[in-house]
Amino acid sequence: MSASGFLRFPAPLTRRCMVPWGLRLREMPALLSPGTAVTPAQMAGRKDRPALLSLDESELEEQFVKGHGPGGQATNKTSNCVVLKHIPSGLVVKCHQTRSVDQNRKLARKILQEKVDVFYNGENSLVYKDKREAEKKKQERKKRAKETLEKKKRLKELWESSKSVQGERSADSD
């Protein structure tokens, strides 16, 4: 079934979804609800990046659990799995991470958006760039930590050697 019934469903997930993979689910509604303004905090640190390729709803095909019956109050279904397909690339995402259809739809779009980015941009995709940057920062932290450790070691050696020098002097002063 097509996604055309959802006229105003999530606005393009452009600059609001620039968070790494480990995002916390409870932040999702604030980031993705088209009705919520994006706060300065959410935009911080992302102005230097080009926007993630946004998904066009007309290129998406969304599927929910089959046999939903009459729906609404007349049904009580708990299958909230969302299957989202990006027609041009053929990529498909299946999401059953949460107990909320609404959240699964948003999550599926987010995951699909990143997959589409990798699909078209490969090494140049934001996902890969983020990973490389994270790895780089990690290496830098390690290096700094190592340097700090060596400094401390040297200081300790200096202090201990100066102690023993003082000890000799006081012994001499008798």
Write the single-letter amino acid at 101. Answer: V
What's the closest the beta carbon of residue 29 comes to other proteins, in angstroms? 5
* Options 50, 99, 122, 123; binder of other proteins; rule CB under 8 A: 99
What's the closest the beta carbon of residue 118 comes to other proteins, in angstroms? 21
Dig out the tokens for 167 from the structure.
């000890």
The verdict on 1 binding other proteins (CB under 8 A) reads yes
* Options 14, 54, 97, 121; binder of other proteins; rule CB under 8 A: 97
Cβ distance to other proteins smaller for residue 76 or 161: 76
**Binding track over 18-57 against other proteins, x by CB under 8 A:** -------xx-xxx--xxxxx--------------------
How far apart, in whole angstroms, are the C-alpha atoms of residue 142 and residue 161?
Answer: 29
- The piece of 12-20, 101-109, 134-142, 143-151 that touches other proteins (CB under 8 A) is 101-109
How far apart, in whole angstroms, are the C-alpha atoms of residue 4 and residue 22?
Answer: 30
Q: Which residues bind other proteins (CB under 8 A)?
A: 1, 5-9, 25-26, 28-30, 33-37, 62, 64, 68-80, 95-103, 105
